[in-house]
Structure 1
Amino acid sequence: MSVDDVLELLQKRMSDGSFIRATISQPRAKSSEVKRIKLKPLELKGLFHIQFEYQKERILTHENIPLDAIVSPLQQALEQYKQFHIELTNETMQIQISKKMKVSIKRIFLDTEKTADYAHNRVKKYALKEGVPYPFLIRLGVQTPDGKVKNQKHDKFRQINRFVELIDDTLSHLPKDRTIRILDFGSGKSYLTFALYHYLRIEKGLDIRVTGLDLKKEVIEECQTIANDLHYEQLEFLVGDINDYTGDTAVDMVVTLHACDTATDMALAKAVKWGASVILSVPCCQHELFTQVHAPALDIMLQHGLVKERLAALATDSIRAELLTLAGYEAQLVEFIDMEHTPKNILIRAYRNDKKPSQAQIDRYVEFRTMLHATPYLEKELHALLPFIQHEI
């Protein structure tokens, strides 16, 4: 079988409905940003697509490609990657493509034919289902008493479900033999705090204790009233500042959503110092680096205020993720759906692994930070935990 044969086979199987999923890995170029590509079928607006999920070192992005345009991206993948694992309804295939483009293939035919579940992709299967009344969503004004999502609340419903998906991904990283301690800094109106509690406590039956913290006294009082009325006994809301909170010495999960500017860094630093197993953070209003950035090589970009603002925000989140990595976490920047329809849709997801950084990782971080002429707040906060970093630039 040749590479062209593989291309023809994949195109045919994607078209006849027998394609279930594929994983493409082992890039030929060591410099390749995309380390792995996952493919799955998807139906959008009545048309079949293949979703490409590009997995970079710490970022996931998606592209939905119609079947009639699939040949070119598949051909590029066959040219640029060595290994393909393909699941079909009646077989699995493991394909290796050598440096000289020689194809070797291992095929395992199944005794029982699977079903390609395109229906799964026609209607989004939310963890919280439309039409099912959830008491907390009704009280928060997202649903009507019969479970219908209110017209003006569909964006919030999607955001809540996206957040629940992310929470579900964290389950394997949380303790199973004791109460799970969770803190939500800057909880605000607490749509997502209630969703987190409902999913982990009600849906999954986990032993959890959750605290939502915010500076707005009236909002906190209202949230606590709702929690009491719903008999969410292990959910509390407190008035307080992220930096001043001293109510715990160890926490399993820290959530911070839309904490402004360095308030996000305060929460991240608290999480690391507590040894939190899971950190989920959506930053907001990032001004710190905007006033610090001085990189003549980037002046073509930095001369434009709008571009400088966005670059500073992206650099801030990249620095945060890198510092978490240096502090013993597996950190990624992932897409998140934002209620206000702003570009602020990056979520920092970090799982503690206690892995020691290499000197190359340390040098890479210092070089990047020095290039920007930045003195990140989070680096200063983690100074005692990162003694191997030269903190003066």
Structure 2
Amino acid sequence: MIFTAVLSKPSKNCAEILGRAYIKVRIWKNTSLPIKKQNEFHAEFFTDKQAFQKNFSLEQVQEFIEKHAGTTFKNCIVRTETEEITTMANKRGEIKTFTKKISGCPQEPKFTGSFNRVKQHILQEGTPVPFLIELGIMTREGKVVAQKYDKFRQINRFLEFIDDVTESVEFLNSTPYTAENPLQIIDFGSGKSYLTFAIQHFFSEVKKIPASITGLDLKEDVIQNCAKLADKLGCANMEFKVGNIADYKSEKKTDIVVSLHACDTATDFALDYAVKHNAKAIFSVPCCQHEINMQLEKIKPDSKSPFASIMKYGILRERFSALATDAIRAELLEQNGYTVQLLEFIDMSHTPKNILIRAVKNQGKKSEAQTEASKCRMNSLIEQLGCSQTLEKIFHSQPHIERGL
């Protein structure tokens, strides 16, 4: 039985075959369904900027893999209960398949009168994880505390977004990470550091990649508690500092920048830091985007502005302003050498602040035409809104800074 499949490295005619220029497809068994439907699978199709969801039956998954593994996508990794099957195609179009036995098997759903929701998370329920235990998310037996299941799910979802990037051979092989030269990560606005400790566990224990992680936050008591927990867990590769994102300076190289729920323009300073330090990857979930919202308040509902109907309602203006802000940020990152995706982080039922900006540094240089097109889109949006945005102002006030283009 297939449990997961990942298809990557698309061929040149992928868009012609599948209708869009997908760069990766992830498929997994949908164990949240009732048992009688558990031959159904969920799939995510990723382009450079979007993710599309589909549901497949087992037969459709098998047909899709048979048709596209090694052809439409040059790499395909399929995991079953007992094997990992890798299909690869070289530049000459020759397709080879390798099979590796794996110990243990993915956890099957149990039926005890109600349907238990079991998913193949990176961090598995039933396997004790020290930092989750200390943070009160998991019991010492490895059971997720019922009231903390949403947090458990959020942590796993975030790790999946990171895992997608680190699966890239180019990302990991561009630098040989060692204990002397670890992967350098900074978490701006780390707060209680649920995700900071999750990242540490992911790289150190799951990926076995040496990593050094810094958490920065304004609250001194929170930082002290996080430092104590890191010491208790024996995480020598972690440090926590009190400080403001806008003022933070470091001579260390930076590979990954994380910024979750940094308030308003603090996100812009985190993105600016990442670009200045040529970070390989950025993961940012913006929060409380007041800047453009406050500027749009001047548009009167009875004006001839094309946005007047939106500005009439405070909640629409707030959400529209947040979307416009993130669109500008995404364009600016593209102009500075990144491939950007805006992805859903967690369900809308939990919080409206659910857009994740995921940006990965390009290996090559984008064409001038692509850069100019991005500038044109962004400038048109800013002009139509009649507003300004902090990250745009920062970048244009520092033309002398070399940004790795």
* CA deviation after TM superposition for structure 1 residue 255, in Å: 0.5
Find the aligned partners of 1:329 and 1:253 in 2 and give their Cα distance.
Answer: 13
Residue 34 of structure 2 aligns with which residue? 45
Residue 12 of structure 1 aligns with which residue? none
Query: Alignment length, in residue pairs?
Result: 339
TM-score, structure 2 length as denominator? 0.72
Residue 374 of structure 1 aligns with which residue? 387
Equivalent pair of 1:327/1:386 in contact (CA under 8 Å): no
Find the aligned partners of 1:94 and 1:339 in 2 and give their Cα distance.
Answer: 37
Letter in 2 for 1:137: L
Detail structure 1 runs of 4+ shifted over 3 Å in the superposition. 19-25, 34-43, 48-57, 63-67, 91-95, 119-123, 384-387
The answer to whether 1:324 aligns with 2:333 is yes
Residue 58 of structure 1 aligns with which residue? 49
* CA deviation after TM superposition for structure 1 residue 160, in Å: 1.0
Aligned mate of 1:267, from 266, 270, 274:
270
For residue 149 of structure 1, give the secondary structure of its aligned residue in structure 2. Answer: coil
Residue 352 of structure 2 aligns with which residue? 343
* CA deviation after TM superposition for structure 1 residue 317, in Å: 1.1
RMSD: 3.8
TM-score, structure 1 length as denominator? 0.74
* CA deviation after TM superposition for structure 1 residue 374, in Å: 2.4
Alignment of 1:64-143 (within 5 A): 64=55, 86-88=64-66, 123-143=118-138
Aligned mate of 1:308, from 302, 312, 317:
317
Residue 104 of structure 1 aligns with which residue? none
* CA deviation after TM superposition for structure 1 residue 176, in Å: 2.2
Equivalent pair of 2:28/2:43 in contact (CA under 8 Å): no
* CA deviation after TM superposition for structure 1 residue 207, in Å: 1.9
* CA deviation after TM superposition for structure 1 residue 65, in Å: 7.1
Letter in 2 for 1:343: P
Aligned mate of 2:188, from 164, 169, 185:
185
Residues 227 and 93 (structure 1), Cα distance of their counterparts in 2 relative to 1, 3 Å cut: closer
* CA deviation after TM superposition for structure 1 residue 382, in Å: 1.4
Moved more, 347-356 or 254-263: 347-356
The answer to whether 1:360 aligns with 2:370 is no
Deviations 1:264-290 (A, max 9, x none): 111000111111111110111111111
For residue 296 of structure 1, give the secondary structure of its aligned residue in structure 2. Answer: coil
For structure 2, the residue ranges without an aligned partner over 5 or more in a row are 73-94, 100-105, 110-117, 401-405
* CA deviation after TM superposition for structure 1 residue 51, in Å: 3.5
For residue 382 of structure 1, give the secondary structure of its aligned residue in structure 2. Answer: helix
Equivalent pair of 1:256/1:282 in contact (CA under 8 Å): yes
Find the aligned partners of 2:98 and 2:267 in 1 and give their Cα distance.
Answer: 52
Find the aligned partners of 1:338 and 1:188 in 2 and give their Cα distance.
Answer: 21
Find the aligned partners of 2:54 and 2:272 in 1 and give their Cα distance.
Answer: 34
Equivalent pair of 2:282/2:360 in contact (CA under 8 Å): yes
Percent of aligned pairs sharing the same letter: 43
Residues 25 and 373 (structure 1), Cα distance of their counterparts in 2 relative to 1, 3 Å cut: farther
The answer to whether 1:146 aligns with 2:135 is no
Equivalent pair of 1:326/1:386 in contact (CA under 8 Å): no
For structure 1, the residue ranges without an aligned partner over 5 or more in a row are 1-16, 71-84, 96-107, 113-118, 388-393
Moved more, 370-379 or 198-207: 198-207
Find the aligned partners of 1:331 and 1:286 in 2 and give their Cα distance.
Answer: 19
For residue 236 of structure 1, give the secondary structure of its aligned residue in structure 2. Answer: strand
